[in-house]
């Protein structure tokens, strides 16, 4: 059985991420078993697998677990930190915990005092959560003898919240702490916030500043890097971007949307408690990966995929990657939430993205993808295979990516649709602009560039595909329509409408099809 026959028979039920994939948030993380199955089909132990757009590093991590030599390339230093920290071994957990506790214990008393509230008898308790409505603290949650207590913010709580601003200014002005003053890029700006520090309460800025001041004093790089990852993974959870609930005084964990956004009602979580929780999750995840990782060599390069000259030609057995989605998400701009706290030199100029705010036009996006896939073609062995996931609702970005792949010297051999096990910040297509899964395209390396000029009218493909689909399933979701349409458009290179313009699928479906109540009493599609 050939590898393509094996691939065609493959049925993948996506699995949730294990603990070692949860050391840090990153966007576009694919189901780990999807990556595993593709690597398993196309490679053998000892082979080399590369991901030129590494992101959260699933390809490098799975390759290592499978005794393959994983190579990850990413321009974003945060991605490199996450992957290196995930796979590094060994970690002295006792030294790590001691270093963490030493940092927390060194935070000045007048800062720690800001994290308390009072019960009716005047006893002090550590605040677990505070809920704010815009700039006013409203409700407090704390624990007394293990029992949850909710209260309205009183004069003591309001005074401490105000006092935190003065304490923050004192320690910042005297140089004991620092925090990012960087302006939020227009691409991701939300809710009137202009600077990174505005995404935190004064109290949590203080705690974050002292924590990182302590981390920078640690001489052991391994411990310092571990504590840095813990810090950046905790940052979203004690930011003001967590929606709040005035009744329950609970807040969701994590970064809920791929934007910088402070809800009108938001939660202020105790930063120290959040850091302690992330320390525990880090240790648990690391112990898990230590039990299944191998000592196989891996490499992580913080560089552009446009130049892979440090990797020998014909040295790679297989490529699995997730190229940038055009304008769907700005990884670098969002990563500034973390990198502005660190001493990272971030190369925004060479990011492969369409971003009109930074004059990153379609031509730049196309040119850089051309260079990247040319490099992938160079390092891949003759007759080797490349698989990648990609989704975007706009045909123009599909055309740019597929054209770049063909020009580099690849031929499409398989398309597969895989549902997602968990939500992702980069889900791309349905009625609400989300695609609940991934297209996985597999290509074979050719010796020369492949030039295909599509002659089929894209509107004809839409009609042919949808009529066939809706004949048996009129009640399908919009997401399912795209799942059926896009591979057919790509296969025939049917990018243009009857007027010779790039096909706008949304507009054409809206013009030709209606989603309305059908004779069976259910909503469905009809011409």
Same domain, 164 and 305: no
Give domain status of residue 293, yes or no.
Answer: no
Rounded mean pLDDT of 6-23?
A: 89
Same domain, 283 and 226: yes
Which of 402, 433, 452 lies at the terminal end of a domain, its last residue? 452
Same domain, 247 and 104: yes
In this structure, what are the phi and psi dihedrals at residue 330, rounded to the nearest 5 degrees? -100, 95
Give domain status of residue 216, yes or no.
Answer: yes
Which pLDDT value is given to residue 328?
59
Per-residue pLDDT band for 434 (boundaries 50, 70, 90) equals very low
Same domain, 275 and 141: yes
Which of 235, 255, 287 lies at the terminal end of a domain, its last residue? 287
Give domain status of residue 294, yes or no.
Answer: no
Q: Is the dihedral of CA 456, 458, 459, 465 positive or negative?
A: positive
End-to-end Cα spacing for the chain? 43
User: Pairing relation of β-strands 136-144 and 124-133?
Assistant: antiparallel
What are the tens digits of pLDDT across the range 269-283?
Answer: 999 999 999 999 999
Q: Which of 305, 439, 323, 428 is nearest to 376 (CA)?
A: 305
189-203, 246-260, 312-326, 432-446 — which one is most confidently predicted on average? 312-326
What is the enclosing helix (H) or strand (E) of 138? strand 136-144
Same domain, 98 and 18: no
Q: Which of 38, 17, 74, 87 is nearest to 320 (CA)?
A: 38
Same domain, 122 and 16: no
Give domain status of residue 460, yes or no.
Answer: yes
The percent of residues above 90 in pLDDT, for the chain, comes to 68
Opening angle at CA 153, ends 152 and 156, nearest 5: 140
Distance from C-alpha of 525 to C-alpha of 233, rounded to nearest angstrom:
43
Same domain, 51 and 163: no
**H-helix segments, 235-383:** 271-292, 331-339, 362-379
Which pLDDT value is given to residue 326?
64
Give domain status of residue 479, yes or no.
Answer: yes
Same domain, 170 and 200: yes
Q: Which of 116, 186, 175 is nearest to 151 (CA)?
A: 116
Per-residue pLDDT band for 202 (boundaries 50, 70, 90) equals very high
Count: domains in the chain:
3
Distance from C-alpha of 163 to C-alpha of 185, rounded to nearest angstrom:
30
The percent of residues above 70 in pLDDT, for the chain, comes to 94
What is the distance, to the nearest Å, from the Cα of residue 199 to the centroid of all Cα atoms in its chain? Answer: 19
Give domain status of residue 122, yes or no.
Answer: yes
Looking up residue 379, the CATH number of its domain turns out to be: 3.40.50.150
Same domain, 110 and 7: no
What is the distance, to the nearest Å, from the Cα of residue 143 to the centroid of all Cα atoms in its chain? Answer: 34
Which residues are CB-contacts of 432 (< 8 A; sequence separation ≥ 6)?
A: none
Indicate whether 430 pLDDT > 60. Answer: no
Q: Which of 512, 505, 499, 513 is nearest to 485 (CA)?
A: 505
Enumerate long-range contacts of 170-177, CB under 8 Å, 24 or more apart: 171/108, 171/111, 171/206, 171/209, 171/210, 172/209, 176/209, 176/210, 176/213, 177/206, 177/209, 177/210, 177/212, 177/213
Same domain, 56 and 164: no
Give domain status of residue 151, yes or no.
Answer: yes
What is the enclosing helix (H) or strand (E) of 166? helix 155-173
Q: Does the bond joining 90 to the residue before it have cis omega, within 30 degrees of 0? A: yes
276 burial (CB, 10 Å; 0-12 / 13-18 / 19+) is middle
Which pLDDT value is given to residue 428?
38
- 3-state SS assignment for residue 121: coil
Indicate whether 313 pLDDT > 80. Answer: yes
Which of 261, 287, 313 lies at the terminal end of a domain, its last residue? 287
474 burial (CB, 10 Å; 0-12 / 13-18 / 19+) is middle
Same domain, 346 and 428: yes
Per-residue pLDDT band for 318 (boundaries 50, 70, 90) equals very high
Distance from C-alpha of 72 to C-alpha of 299, rounded to nearest angstrom:
6
What are the tens digits of pLDDT across the range 329-341?
Answer: 677 888 999 999 9
Distance from C-alpha of 199 to C-alpha of 233, rounded to nearest angstrom:
15
Give domain status of residue 292, yes or no.
Answer: no
Same domain, 228 and 324: no
The domain in which residue 124 lies consists of 93-287
Q: pTM, whole model, 2 decimals?
A: 0.92
């Amino acid at each position: 059985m050939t590898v393509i026959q094996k691939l065609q028979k493959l049925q993948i039920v996506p699995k949730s991420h294990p603990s070692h994939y949860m050391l840090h948030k990153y966007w576009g993380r694919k189901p780990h078993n999807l990556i595993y199955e593709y690597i398993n089909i196309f490679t053998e132990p000892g082979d080399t697998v590369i991901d030129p757009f590494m992101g959260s590093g699933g390809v490098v991590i799975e390759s290592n677990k499978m005794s393959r030599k994983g190579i990850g390339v990413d321009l974003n230093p945060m991605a490199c930190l996450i992957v290196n920290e995930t796979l590094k071994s060994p970690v002295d957990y006792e030294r790590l915990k001691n270093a963490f506790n030493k940092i927390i214990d060194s935070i000045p008393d007048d800062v720690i005092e800001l994290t308390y509230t009072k019960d009716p008898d005047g006893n002090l308790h550590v605040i677990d959560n505070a809920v704010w409505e815009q700039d006013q603290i409203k409700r407090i949650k704390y624990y007394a003898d293990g029992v949850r207590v909710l209260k309205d913010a009183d004069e003591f709580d309001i005074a401490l919240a105000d006092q935190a601003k003065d304490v923050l200014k004192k320690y910042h002005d005297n140089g004991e702490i620092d925090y990012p003053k960087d302006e939020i890029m227009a691409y991701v700006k939300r809710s009137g916030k202009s600077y990174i520090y505005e995404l935190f309460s004064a109290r949590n800025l203080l705690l974050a500043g002292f924590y990182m001041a302590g981390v920078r004093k640690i001489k052991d790089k391994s411990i310092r890097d571990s504590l840095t990852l813990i810090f950046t993974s905790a940052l979203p959870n004690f930011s003001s971007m967590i929606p709040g609930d005035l009744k329950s005084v609970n807040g969701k964990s994590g970064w809920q949307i791929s934007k910088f956004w402070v809800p009108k009602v938001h939660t202020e979580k105790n930063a120290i408690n959040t850091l302690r929780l992330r320390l525990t999750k880090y240790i648990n995840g690391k112990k898990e990966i230590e039990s299944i990782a191998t000592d196989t060599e891996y490499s992580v390069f913080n560089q552009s995929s446009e130049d892979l000259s440090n990797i020998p030609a014909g040295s790679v057995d297989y490529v699995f990657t997730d190229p940038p989605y055009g304008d769907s998400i700005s990884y670098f701009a969002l990563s500034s939430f973390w990198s502005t706290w660190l001493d990272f030199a971030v190369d925004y100029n060479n990011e492969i993205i369409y971003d009109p705010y930074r004059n990153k036009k379609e031509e730049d996006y196309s040119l850089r993808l051309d260079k990247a896939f040319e490099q992938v073609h160079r390092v891949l062995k003759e007759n080797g295979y490349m698989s990648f996931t990609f989704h975007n609702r706009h045909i123009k970005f599909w055309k740019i990516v597929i054209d770049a792949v063909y020009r580099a010297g690849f031929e499409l051999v398989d398309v597969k649709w895989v549902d997602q096990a968990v939500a992702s910040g980069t889900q791309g297509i349905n009625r609400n602009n989300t695609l609940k899964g991934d297209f996985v395209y597999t290509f074979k390396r050719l010796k020369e560039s492949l030039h295909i000029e599509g002659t089929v009218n894209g509107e004809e493909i839409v009609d042919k595909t949808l009529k066939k689909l809706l004949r048996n399933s009129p009640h399908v979701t919009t997401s399912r329509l795209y799942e059926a349409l896009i591979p057919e458009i790509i296969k025939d290179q049917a990018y243009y409408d009857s007027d010779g313009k790039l096909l706008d699928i949304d507009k054409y479906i809206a013009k030709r099809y209606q989603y309305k109540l059908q004779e069976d009493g259910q909503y469905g599609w009809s011409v």
